[in-house]
Amino acid sequence: MTENPAGPHRPALARGRALPSWSLLAAGLLAGSLLGGTYGLVRTPTYTATSYVVAVATEKTEPASALGFAQAYSRVATQLAVLGDAQVWAGVPVRTLRSSVQTATSPDAPMVAITATSSRPDLAADMANAVSRALTRHANDTKADTHVELQQFARAIRPTDPSSASPTVTALVGASAGGLLGGLLLLVRPRRATEEPAWPASVPSPATAADVHGQL
């Protein structure tokens, strides 16, 4: 009697489907965590330093006008006229200052924050201080007309800790992204049938059918 050719393949198919559905989610978490942690280890850390200047109204104008001038000085700080002077004190070209320096102001105080980032902590502080010095100089050259002078409020100090994310943080971010991707794959993958597929009935060989007929 010949065996059903489909029979031996059923255990193999069952073994192929033995992998649990949550394995995609676990694989995504693990892969994302490893990639994120590795990125955090090999990436060059960045450092951030900030200096502050404050706009002060003279006796010839109202104190409220200083707030408006602070907003204007914040926009001027990253212009070529200021960065051209700042590059001399910072020791870096203008394009480096333009890509590394940002400014911010407060809606309630006439203060300008000048922030610089660099892979070197000392250079980050030097760039922030150089831009604040150049901005103060340009602002005070016209204080006779604006009746507002710019004064240094706080110098940037050399940062001791990097401002970029640590490997632990990047690993957590990678794990979150990997888990999200694994979850999406679980949602879009084809769903298995809840029941086993019907297998074709085995047909007896001619020799076996003849023996059965003879017995009858």
For residue 98, pLDDT beyond 90: yes
- Tell me the β-bridge partners of 103: 114
Q: Using one digit for the tens of pLDDT, what is the confidence trace for 176-202?
A: 777 677 667 667 766 654 445 545 555
CATH of domain 47-154: 3.30.70.1130
User: What pLDDT band is residue 13 in, cutting at 50, 70 and 90?
Assistant: very low
More confident residue, 27 or 213: 27
Cα–Cα distances (Å) from 169 to 139, 206, 208, in that order, read 41, 71, 70
Measure CA of the first residue to CA of the last residue in the chain; give whole Å.
18
Q: What is the pTM of this model?
A: 0.62
Measured in residues, the chain has a length of 216
- Domains of the chain by residue range: 47-154
| Per-chain mean pLDDT for the chain | 77
Angle at 176 between CA 174 and CA 179, to 5 degrees: 105
